[in-house]
Each structure stands twice: as C-alpha cells, then as structure tokens.
C-alpha cells in the first residue's frame, strides 16, 4: 500500500516546536506520523483511524518508534474525546481528512469510478454503504444529499436518472453509476461528470461533515494545543474556517443580544495562517491528488 502524504514538510515544520503528545487523528498509512516522529524526538504520537487495514499497515510501519507510538481504531470525533479525557497536555493535533490512496485505488472498496462494488465505507464495521443509499433512499433524500454534499444546483436530474434505472435493476457497482451519469451528461473538460455525485455519496456514507463538526466541538476547550487541519473540498474547508473564526472572537453572546454580556474576553486562541497553506506547484506535479488540499492552523491560548 502507498499513499503520498500531502504538505508533509509544512506539517513537520508546524509541529517542530511541540513536545509531548501529538494526536494524528487520521493516521492512514502513517506517512505524516513517521516524519513527525523521525524529525522531533520530543514527541510521542497517538494515532486514530477507522480503517482497520490502514491501522495495521501504520502499526507495522511505525514499529521502530514502539515506545513513542500507539493507536486506536475509532472515528476521530469520539477517539479524540477519549484521548483528551485520558491525557493532559496534548501539544498538537493533526487531521488530514479524506480518503487515502489505497482506499481509492482498491476497487473492492467502491470509491472509484471503475469499482465493481458500491461500498465507500472507510469503517467496514458500519452498516450503511453506498449501495444501500442509491437503492433505497427516496427521491427527497437523494436530492438532499446531492444538493448539500455535492453542491449540485439541480439534483433532481441525477436523482431521476437513478430512480428510473433502479426500477428495472438493483444498482450494485460504482461503475454502473459512473457510466449511467457519463452516458447522460457531457463531460466537463476537467472532471468526470459523476465526481460530485460520488463526493455526495461518500460524505453521506461516512458522515464526513458531522464527524468534522463533532471533532472540532470536542477539541474546543483545549489549552496551548496546536491544531493543523488539511481538507480536500470546500464543504470541509468552510467548516474549519468558520470554526476557527468563531474561536478567535472575544464576544460569544448570541447574535440577538443588544449589549455584550459575556465579558468580551472569550477568544480561545489565534489563527496561525490567515490564508490556508496549499501545495506548491512541484508538490502538485509529484502528487496530483494533493491539488485541492488546504491546511488551516490554529493555536489555543494557554
Ligand atoms: C488522507 S488519509 C491520511 C493519510 C495519512 N496522513 C498519511 O500520511 O499516511 C485519511 C485517513 O483518515 C481516515 N479517516 C477519515 N475520516 C475519519 C474519521 N472521521 N475518523 C477516523 N478516521 C478517519 C481514513 O480512513 C484515512 O485512512
């Protein structure tokens, strides 16, 4: 299994002054964790992932750091809560949200346009997968996920296509969906016509936005911790950006109060980079999948 870690140097640089515990909330194949452990002898890492295959690979890869590395199988929203409860002084948290290359490239996982299955679960212990969604969701439910998670302005044309098709035959592969859409919609020059439908299905299957919101909620009372979050599409980036903006506000009164009643000193920390850090042209040339990455960084007050 291989995965090219995005913004690797930038991540190592951001955490270089940390000591103690760093949580890698999306351990994946352990690429970021490996470089962090190698370059900073003062840290130990606790990794989280909900994909057992990735965890097993990372455990093996990071075995040389045995005493400085441990990991748990969990969603990052509940995993981070548990780690915070059990450990004081977490000095850094990394989240590199999204799908790893082996998850995309393994056709059995159902993430790619060519897959013969229609799964898309990161955690194979969960019950809902993309096949259940496309074959059983109502017209309104499909419209909702295509509109909200695919940001498709007119989702009904895609929904109708799927509803008509499934009247005659159950949909069992990602390839069937991508072909159905490609045969009915002109390809945009840059992306496959089914890209946003696949994005919407994946987000729904894995509750990706709910996970991110809960994760941010669960870390908001930390002190002194440095946070780096790498996201790959605008829906996630918007949640991170808006949350960081909320965290730097001194006033936390409800919008409808006439006069500030909260003391006006409630800022939780500082945003480190006003603009997100993005990959250089040479990184994009080396790893095309990095092209949509955006890293936002925050430091909680002491
Ligand atoms: C882009 S990969 C991380 C790659 C890793 N940083 C590296 O360098 O090898 C994202 C990983 O996060 C995991 N993941 C995504 N969302 C998750 C969530 N809500 N809870 C736990 N793991 C999650 C995926 O299973 C995947 O292995």
pTM, full prediction: 0.94
Region 190-204 average pLDDT = 92
User: Quick one: pLDDT at residue 189?
Assistant: 62
User: Quick one: pLDDT at residue 230?
Assistant: 98
Q: What is the pLDDT of residues 206-226, one digit of tens each?
A: 999 999 999 999 999 999 999
Q: Where in the chain is the domain with CATH 1.10.150.170?
A: 103-206
On the question of pLDDT at 92 being above 90, the answer is yes
Between 217 and 107, residue with greater pLDDT: 217
Q: What is the pLDDT of residues 2-31, one digit of tens each?
A: 889 999 999 999 999 999 999 999 999 999
Between 135 and 265, residue with greater pLDDT: 135
Least confident of 3-7, 147-151, 183-187, 232-236: 183-187
User: Which of 11, 24, 35, 100 is the best mutation target for the ligand 1 pocket, counting ligand atoms within 8 Å of the beta carbon and taking the most?
Assistant: 100
Q: Which residues contact 11 (CB under 8 A, 6 or more apart)?
A: 5, 32, 35, 36, 94, 96, 228, 230, 295
Give the other-Cβ count within 10 Å of 198's Cβ. 22
Tell me yes or no: is domain 103-206 CATH 3.30.565.10. Answer: no
CATH architecture of residue range(s) 8-96+209-300: 3-Layer(aba) Sandwich (3.40)
Bridge partners of residue 299, in order along the sequence: 226, 270
Q: Where in the chain is the domain with CATH 3.40.50.150?
A: 8-96+209-300
Phi, psi of 229 (to 5 degrees): -125, 125
User: Which of 50, 71, 213, 289 is the best mutation target for the ligand 1 pocket, counting ligand atoms within 8 Å of the beta carbon and taking the most?
Assistant: 50
Inter-residue contact 43 to 16 (CB < 8 Å)? no
Q: What is the mean pLDDT of the chain?
A: 95
Tell me if 30 CB under 6 Å of ligand 1.
yes
């Amino acid at each position: 299994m291989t995965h090219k870690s995005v913004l690797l140097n930038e991540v190592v640089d951001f955490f270089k002054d940390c000591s103690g515990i760093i949580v890698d909330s999306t351990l994946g194949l352990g690429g970021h964790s490996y470089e962090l452990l190698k370059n900073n002898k003062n840290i130990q890492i606790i990794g989280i992932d909900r994909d057992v295959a990735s965890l097993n690979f990372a455990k093996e890869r990071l075995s040389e750091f045995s005493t400085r590395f441990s990991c748990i199988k969990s969603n990052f929203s509940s995993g981070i809560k548990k780690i915070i409860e059990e450990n004081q002084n977490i000095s850094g948290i990394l989240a590199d949200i999204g799908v790893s290359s082996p998850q995309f490239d393994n056709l059995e996982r159902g993430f790619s346009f060519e897959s013969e299955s229609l799964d898309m679960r990161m955690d194979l212990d969960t019950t809902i997968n993309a096949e259940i969604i496309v074959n059983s969701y109502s017209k309104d439910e499909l419209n909702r996920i295509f509109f909200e998670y695919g940001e498709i302005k007119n989702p009904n044309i895609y929904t109708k296509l799927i509803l008509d098709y499934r009247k005659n035959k159950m949909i069992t592969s990602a390839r069937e969906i991508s072909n159905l859409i490609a045969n009915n919609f002109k390809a945009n020059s840059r992306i496959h016509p089914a890209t946003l439908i696949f994005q919407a299905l994946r987000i729904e299957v894995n509750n990706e936005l709910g996970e991110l919101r809960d994760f941010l909620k669960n870390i908001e009372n930390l002190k002194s911790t440095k946070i780096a979050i790498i996201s790959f599409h605008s829906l996630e980036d918007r949640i991170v950006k808006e949350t960081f903006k909320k965290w730097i506000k001194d006033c936390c009164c409800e919008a409808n109060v006439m006069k500030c009643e909260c003391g006006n000193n409630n800022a939780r920390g500082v945003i480190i980079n006003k603009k997100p850090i993005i990959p250089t042209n040479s990184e994009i040339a080396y790893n095309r999948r990095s092209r949509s990455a955006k890293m936002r960084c925050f430091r909680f007050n002491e």
